[in-house]
Amino acid sequence: MSVPLVHLTRLFQLLSERKFAEAERILERITERMKRSGLQEFNRGYLEALSGIVLTYRSGGESYEFFSNLDLNDTEALKRHYLDFKQNSENPLHADYDRGYFTALADYMRVVLRTVKGKNEDEG
């Protein structure tokens, strides 16, 4: 099930602004929306990935190697991560849970890339 890009963008924007209570409300909306579709394992993986991202921001990211080393100014690396997550999300050899998890990470990278591109265009 596809989550509207506007919800994901808002979630990640709130996280970057450290507005965790509002971010949790957006995550709850996403959770309720996903519960209505029938893809239980996919949705569980997707939601656990989003919850992990929220936890990473809330804890400052020190204990999560990938996110703490993510350079938001390196668009080429961001694109590589996005493509890697997207490829894993489409791999039929992965279980539904794993595909959901990788889909959430790919969606996160897609929003980050759009945000970075928008900032670069505003500055340029």
pLDDT tens for each residue of 79-98? 999 999 999 999 999 999 99
pTM, to two decimals: 0.87
- Output the pLDDT for position 14: 94
pLDDT tens for each residue of 25-39? 999 999 998 888 777
In a domain, 92, yes or no: yes
Answer yes or no: is pLDDT of 78 > 90: yes
Average per-residue pLDDT for the chain? 88
In a domain, 123, yes or no: no
Helices (H), the chain: 5-16, 20-35, 40-59, 65-68, 75-90, 96-123
Helices (H), 60-95: 65-68, 75-90
In a domain, 124, yes or no: no
Please give the residue range of the domain that contains residue 12.
5-118
Alpha-carbon span 8 to 85, nearest angstrom: 16
